Structure 1
């Protein structure tokens, strides 16, 4: 633990300012999402907005403790934290409560706790520490497999909880690995798989396969009889055809009913305005009705009359769009992106691989949450139910993201002392 007089000596106050601007703005919009004439006080602790204030105080306490503790504590216990997190993820499968279709919550009296929220920062710590111990410039296949195992284990456990949204967030670590030298081909392969998956749902298999065969023949003709290239093209074609034939099985037998419905609605194959499509339709109406400058704070009709379900959690951006309008939403996005860019800037100035990789993990996790959450409210991605960090209602979410961010701010404050 560092001396009291040095606690705030090297802290990045810009990041802290942006953090508090975001959580205060989030609390205001949670209040707006539940406001009515009878709830005229912001400090009604029986309501969600009142509870969020308590969560903000608790999160601030955690932030202070995190900043006080010496950085070596986080580094030396990274693997221990990871093991504890994995044990909690396993435990919730057997002892957890089902909320919204996902068995991902521990209920202890009135206290609720979601282990998948801490899985993000414990995985980031473990990956950062492992990479920090790699001294050779080129990472071996064995080392790559080990890194993927660190990421894949919590991913699989969260999938088993039926929490697809949180599991997808772990794809953010691919961005970190790319920054650390992972081939861009992995990211391209991921995009190709997603594209083929979507096309397989929209286009008849025989037509899609015919298109791929035609494209493959063109590439074979352009390869100038290069046997190696021809073999690779044929292998990719066979793999693509096999994947296309497996899409229907994956879609109909592995994905849950509500995930299938949400994907179909996004792709325009279903409308269902009173069922699975209701959230998205009402979300678009709320955001669109805000216009350029919004209806004004506490004046959102879609918000006040509960047309948008989960408007204080997954659909909190609807409240922002309706009451603050395009300009308010734009300023909010600028503020959020400023925090992401600040984290990237701080990451690049780290002397330690551990601190840099952890910083990039923080930025990537927040970015994926930001992109997917806003994307699902405007119909760019399926509705998969993940919070908007620092904005959405929820104690586990706010405290988890606060810990994630402030561990990095702690590491940054020691950057002149950490050499590896």
Structure 2
């Protein structure tokens, strides 16, 4: 028998309070053509039949393709230890510590995660994460707005366009003004960003490496932002931070990242991990939870929620955010992944990824008509221009089991022939060679 929580009298009372006559009136905004045509659900199946049906559906997915797709999400190798440890029951059944001091294991795991990501990014403080890299960037922007009381933001066009779309969606009704500084042939226009800074600017948003794979040092830009009291925000790629100058060393006020590359499978788009770090001066603007380590009255080590400025803990109008989830399991995977690799292992994964990308760039640009778009130093990702529309090439090669990259024309006008290519330590030189020959054939 189905569970029905309300009596007919209670339903009528609720409808009267809302001011509608029937439950159907609640859905009046949904046009008839968009409403369910039928609830004629098929008869149930046995466990064996369900398994067979789901396996058939799963088999339709192209899981064996060789992928050079990146654009913010990367297929790095995940050690078996990550699954073995994080799938223990005490970890994967744990969620938000609503009675925090009773959840010492969860709090310690979060504290260790915070410690690891602040060291990786060279920052002073971290929270227990938000949803993903895009929401982390939005939360960083709002930190700057609260800190400066300003409404104008300078954004580099070389910032991930997916994130820029997310920023536009989240802020569409917040009366904020965005000044977008165009990229220069895939390069971040640092001088243009500096020129856009004045005492009306709340924050400057950049990415390293940028969306086209170009590596930058934003020290000078962040110094210029500090002079007008604007907040410097950088979106970083965690794996490459083991090799590059850190956001902290550049003088960033807030550094965020998509944590997927640290032990999280691509999984058709999630769940992922929004890494958030900042300087101590910005910590009270940071959303979510921050775990601290202390001692009790007997001198024993204990873990506590030091700051918890979310709507469930304080008055709603005082909350810093209403989307600051605690992605504990995803954060734990990132922590275990970093610990399993260690400093040398993380650097080796980054170095091999960069080496493979440079080998790939060399082979692709040896093909007539293919030219580098990314200029100067780049990491494990780079952009090229093709003599034909990139969408056509992607369609041809994907059918043959090779996903050649991300079509820049999807977000950048005038770059319809642009292709963004990524490599990781899982990309073999043999695969690169096959990719180059397939591309050569597709362009003939």
Higher Rg of the two aligned structures: 2
TM-score of the aligned structures, taking structure 1 as reference length:
0.28
TM-score of the aligned structures, taking structure 2 as reference length:
0.26
Looking at both structures, which has the greater relative contact order when contacts are Cα pairs under 8 Å and sequence separation is at least 6?
A: 1
Query: Counting helix residues as a fraction of each chain, which structure ranks higher?
Result: 1
